Amino acid sequence: MSRLLIASNRLPITIQPEGDGFELRPSSGGLATALRGPHAKGDGLWFGWPGDVSLATPEQRARIDAELVERRLVPIDLTAAEVAHYYDGFSNGAVWPLFHYSLDKVRLEAREDWVTYQHVNQRFAEAIAARTQPGDLVWIHDYHLMLVPEYLRRLVPGARIGFFLHIPFPAADVFRILPWREEVLRGLMGADLLGFHTGEYLTNFARSAAQVLATDLDVDVLRWADHSVRLGTFPIGVDAAAFAADSPEVDAELAALRKNTAGRRLILGIDRLDYTKGILRRLLAFERLLEGDQTLHERVQLLQIAVPSRESIDSYADLRKEANELVGRINAAHGTPTRVPVHFLYRSVPFEQLVALYRAADIMLVTPIRDGMNLVAKEYCAARTDGGGVLVLSEFAGAADELREALIVNPYDLDAVERTIGAALQMPEEERRLRMERLHARVLEADVARWHRRFVDELERVPVLPARNAVEGGRSLSEEVSRLREAPSLLVLLDYDGTLVPYAMMPELARPDPELQSLLGRLAARPGARVHVLTGRTPASIERLLGEQPVGLCAEHGYWCRPDPTRPWTVRVTGSLGWKEPVGALLADLAARTPGAFVEEKTSALAFHYRAVDPTLASARVHELRARLAAEARTDIELLEGSRVIEVRLPGVSKSIVAAALIADMPAGTAIFAGGDDRTDEDLFSALPPEAVSVRVGRGRSLARFRVDDVSAFRALLGALV
């Protein structure tokens, strides 16, 4: 088992002022509860905000830090301004309402919010990078930290990074409202594995990524340029055994509750006081029920527990006021001196009381207007070891996917909610038992431990890159460049597109500018140096661009090579090209039916380009192409997938083969420098001896020892070699 590093907005404990000192309390909420147990059993670290400790004296702080170290918790301290902008502002003022389809509550005005969100995400990434060891798994949680995967990937290119979203991922049309949609998607795409509660959220994400970033979905792998991310559904569970367990404390609470409700059926709601939880609509539906049956208040009581939440945000304070007014109205109209139909508690209750409430409740109302999963629904089913109770569940909670035996309801349809509560009150015992026994069994089996295991097992499948890519130890890039500058013999192997020049709209436009021409000229003129450009382009195409330069050219990934401008092109790989005709006909047929697609013919390959094709259609066509080629079971071709292009080529052509040959041509002890930006350059890197200096341009997991952000940074490195 690899070591697991967890990152979430909050640590599983919160530090609060208490008397003269500070006290550590367990944080509330589903995420902290879900991960606390496995963290305690493992040997990993947990990064997050510990709460406001700005007023602690140095001695108090030292004591707090010692306690955190003891529990393997790494604090990310936030200033009051950071909490206001990153947490209240961006996370809960913009992302939370947008992802829950509450468009009227989305706040996008404050420029500081987004800037601070980026800044805090960067701090998380730096803290994690500083503690990551080779082989570690990093698991980042939730909408507060959506940029951390990308930021961390930049700092630790080989890291194995998983991300889980605890809230819904909205439909693409809604997501696209976010002005920073592209940055957020790029951030998430830094991960190797992205987890969602339901298939719908996963599909929404994949569609948004296709529309905004032009990614391709291949079953469950999202490809973007040269980087691929696995998508998965991991519906979270609850600590079901804890809710199913008997204890004298729970029994005592239950007895007290039964005494108080004497004779009346208990309808229960338990939620954080949040506008997504549908509390107001639930109260309205209950009001209708009371209006329809004037004697009902004698027989039922609604207990709504609303746990205080995000009180510094206006919309939450407003909600509390509205809920109070509504409860007042209902109680005034339907209460009697001895009977109050709605009991509204604005606080949380201890665990034993929570379990007792679940067991006492004849009907549990879980009617959010949107909810990622909703753990309360699952906890209720787990607690019902007696097979009693009826769950009324919103179709807009992720839990509705699994808890099919609940009474599923549309929370916007007040009449339906009213009718459903009525039906729940009338439900015959046998049906009630049948439904609850199934629900109970399911939540016990699919519990939180299983959720944790499934995600971590999947993340563990991401391959560990060879140790020589580890960032720690060894010489820095600038030290390596200085060493190469002095080397008597130097071999420079370079990719072209994306490495020496940025990608252009059309390949013909990616011309070398004067700066690049002078750079290549100086490099090739350096005593003892040989420079080769290795590209996927055809000989004619690369020659048009670099033909005048005193460098070697290898085209079609090494099928063709031309060692210098005075020598002719020669073929480096043999093999029959008889497949080109039938495969060419297949590709032409596909392209004819796919607006925006075209086929490029090379000597050793045929490339199907679909950059301009509608993403859904493109993905269907790529599947079709793969299936049709697989059906022919050809052994004389291989597929190479690039950024919105799929190439069918002669097997055995690879930059690794040319690289090995070019290295063998040089005197022993030659220093090597190589740079590239895509999957074919990984072949190149794989052929290099360990002491070679390899540099990856841009994102993505890589075998390269070093990484630079973009073409201009790469050119600066080349400049430093001469």
By CB under 6 A, residue 349 contacts ligand GDG: yes
Nearest distance from residue 390's CB to ligand GDG, in Å? 18
* Cα–Cα dist 699/695, whole Å: 11
Q: How many residues does the chain have?
A: 722
- Residues 176/103, Cβ–Cβ less than 8 Å: no
Q: Measuring CA to CA, how many Å separate 25 from each of 88, 308, 375, 397, 689? A: 21, 16, 21, 29, 53
Judged by CB under 6 A, the stretch of 367-375, 430-438, 509-517, 640-648 that binds ligand GDG is 367-375
Looking at the DSSP assignment, which residues form a beta bridge with residue 640?
Answer: 647
495, 497, 677, 683: the catalytic one is 495
φ, ψ for residue 140, nearest 5 deg:
-105, 140
Binding ligand GDG (rule: CB under 6 A), the pick from 192, 379, 497, 682 is 379
Q: Report if residue 411 touches ligand GDG, rule: CB under 6 A.
A: no
| 719: number of Cβ within 10 Å | 14
Least Å distance, CB 455 to ligand GDG, is: 12
Instruction: Give the C-alpha separation, 605 to 558, whole Å.
Output: 12
Q: Which is nearer to ligand GDG, 379 or 683 (CB)?
A: 379
Q: Site for ligand GDG (CB under 6 A): which residue of 158, 372, 389, 558?
A: 372
DSSP state, 505?
A: S
For residue 201, the minimal CB distance to ligand GDG (Å) is 11
Of 2, 348, 489, 517, the one binding ligand GDG by CB under 6 A? 348
Cβ at position 208, least distance to ligand GDG in Å: 19
Name the CA dihedral angle for 612, 617, 618, 621, rounded to a multiple of 10 degrees: -140
Rounded to the nearest whole angstrom, what is the least distance from the CB of residue 64 to ligand GDG in the complex? 24
- Binding mask 79-98 toward ligand GDG (x if CB under 6 A, else -) reads --------------------
* 500 belongs to the binding site for ligand GDG (CB under 6 A): no
DSSP state, 488? S
Residues 6+ apart with CB under 8 A from 162: 137, 138, 139, 140, 191, 192, 193, 194, 195, 455, 456, 458, 459
CA–CA separation, 331 and 112 (whole Å): 44
C-beta closer to ligand GDG: residue 305 or 545 = 305
166 binds ligand GDG (CB under 6 A): yes
- Closest among 121, 22, 25, 19 to 64, alpha carbons compared: 22
Residues near 28 by beta carbon (within 8 Å), at least 6 away in sequence: 307, 348
Least distance in Å: CB of 569 to ligand GDG?
59
| Spatial CA neighbour of 484 closest among 529, 521, 442 | 529
Report yes or no: 162 and 192 within 8 Å, Cβ to Cβ.
yes
Q: Coil, helix or strand for 599?
A: strand
Strand locations in 281-411, DSSP E?
300-307, 342-345, 363-366, 390-394, 407-409
Q: Minimum distance between the CB of residue 373 and ligand GDG, rounded to whole angstroms? A: 3
Integer-rounded Cα Rg, in Å, for the chain is 31
Q: What distances in angstroms separate CA 173 from CA 92, 98, 206, 475, 526, one per listed residue? A: 20, 11, 12, 48, 55
Q: Which of 709, 714, 598 lies closest to 157 in space, CA to CA? A: 709
CB of 266 to ligand GDG, least distance (A): 16
The count of C-alpha atoms lying within 13 angstroms of the C-alpha of 496, restricted to the half-sphere facing its C-beta, is 30
Question: Which of 6, 152, 289, 375 touches ligand GDG by CB under 6 A?
Answer: 375
Of 211-219, 327-335, 368-376, 416-424, which part binds ligand GDG (CB under 6 A)? 368-376
DSSP letter at 228?
E
Q: Is 415 a residue of the active site? A: no
- Does position 141 interact with ligand GDG (CB under 6 A)? The reply is no
Q: How many residues bind ligand GDG (CB under 6 A)?
A: 23
d(Cα 621, Cα 499) in Å, to the nearest integer? 29
Q: Report the nearest approach of ligand GDG to the CB of residue 715 (Å).
A: 46
Nearest residue (CB) to ligand GDG, 145 versus 693? 145
The Cα diameter of the chain in Å comes to 104
Q: x/- contact string, 298-317, with ligand GDG (CB under 6 A)?
A: -------x-x----------
Residue 304 or 594 having the CB closest to ligand GDG: 304
Of residues 692, 666, 658, 660, the one with CA closest to residue 489: 666
> Which of these ranges, 109-117, 223-231, 349-357, 516-524, lies near ligand GDG under the rule CB under 6 A?
349-357
- The correct pick among 202, 373, 439, 446 for binding ligand GDG (CB under 6 A) is 373
Q: Looking at 74, 120, 354, 590, which residue binds ligand GDG (CB under 6 A)? A: 354
310/545 Cα distance (integer angstroms):
59
447 counts as binding ligand GDG under rule CB under 6 A: no
Give the shortest CB-69-to-ligand GDG separation in angstroms. 27
- The one segment of 327-335, 370-378, 425-433, 578-586 that binds ligand GDG by CB under 6 A: 370-378
Binding mask 14-53 for ligand GDG (x = CB under 6 A): --------------xxxx-x--------------------
Distance CA 705, CA 685 (A): 9
Nearest CB to ligand GDG, comparing residues 166 and 649: 166
Beta-sheet strands, E only, within 438-488: none
Neighbours of 308 (CB within 10 A): 12
Q: Which stretch binds ligand GDG (CB under 6 A): 252-260, 346-354, 461-469, 489-497?
A: 346-354
- Answer yes or no whether residue 272 interacts with ligand GDG by CB under 6 A: yes
Stretch that binds ligand GDG, among 344-352, 563-571, 632-640, 699-707 (CB under 6 A): 344-352
- For tokens 């309205």, the residue is 284
Q: Which of 188, 376, 688, 721 binds ligand GDG (CB under 6 A)?
A: 376
Choose between 29 and 232: whose C-beta lies nearer to ligand GDG. Answer: 29
Residue 242 makes contact with ligand GDG by CB under 6 A: no
Nearest residue (CB) to ligand GDG, 393 versus 591: 393
- Min dist CB 103 to ligand GDG, Å, is 18
Q: Which residues bind ligand GDG (CB under 6 A)?
A: 28-31, 33, 166-167, 236, 270, 272, 305, 307, 348-349, 351, 354, 371-376, 379
Q: Which amino acids are annotated catalytic?
A: 495
